[in-house]
Structure 1
Amino acid sequence: MFSVYNSYSSLVSALYNYLIGVFSYYYLAVLSVVLFLFISYRFPYCYSPYLFSVFLLTVVFSCFISMFFRRVCSNFEEFFSGFVPVGTPLYICPLVCLAETISFLIRPFVLIFRPFINISLGCFGAVALSNFCFTNSIWLLILCLVFFYEVFVALVHWFIVTNILAFSIDH
């Protein structure tokens, strides 16, 4: 009746129950690696555009493709019926289906390009601001504020990637 949890297992269980919920712990591990990479790029000398693009293509894109194949292979009709939401009037069904198809085709590009562009620009912007620190010390305060802003941006992009992948299960 009473289970003993340490702080790590209760944290993982809370993340699993509130954020992931419908996936396995393996998926939680993959998303934790994505979060760690997004956060680690906020620190100096950790950013590599090549490694980041390869990571996004191999991990994030492959997660999307694997969920796509899982849905298509498990239930073909349910996958395509998800392109027309329940309750859609018949006269706009073709347009809604077209819009949902375009949305589904754009999702993998959003998963790759959006974090790459925004996190890369944040890294390059922090480098440009850090060069100003040599001229005036007020720039160091601004750089600290930019650091916390960029950590927030990294968390938001992780949340976006997680939600797009979660939304791809049903649509």
Structure 2
Amino acid sequence: MKKYIIQSVRLTVVLLVLLCVVYPISIALAGKFSKGNGGGEKITKNGKVIGYALIGQSFTKPQYFWGRPSAVNYNAAGSGGSNKGPSNPDYLKEVSNRIDTLLKYNPSIKKSDIPADMVTASGSGLDPNISEQGAIIQIKRIAAYRKIDERKVAELVVANTQKPFLGFFGPTTVNVLKLNFALEEFGSRK
């Protein structure tokens, strides 16, 4: 019996050292060598942080690209989905309202052109990316509001499109904050 207790205590001490000291330190060091030194990829303008590239933000003005809807109002402290199923009448009404808003501000598109990510919230409510199609359907609206040639706006979308990891893992996406930042930078150069 004494033999098993000593082995259990030794194993507990080894696991405590590994999981409470070695692992957290190795993760912190890996973060320090990553983009943003473990503090996330910050987007700055004139030395001031205007946002984080990996956290979705609310853009509602028609001259900006709109991101994916959020069930938590883009609150990073309380991320989560709506937990409403596809047959829930409240959920269906929310999605229908989002579709109506997109069609109102983008009259050149058809309902069938709207990708699902533009009208449904992500599981975290903080998705910073939209699909490439989600960006494309907004080009005409943004070009009209900003009085910019549509081709220039399309070039910004292409320049800010992220291809799938290793060419085939995941979808092609566009980071909304980076794209809107590039749009602002382009507007200030005109």
TM-score (norm 1): 0.30
Whose strand fraction is larger, Structure 1's or Structure 2's? 2
| Structure with the higher helix share, 1 or 2 | 1
Asked which structure has the greater CA Rg, the reply is 2
RCO (CA 8 Å, sep 6+): is it higher in 1 or 2? 1
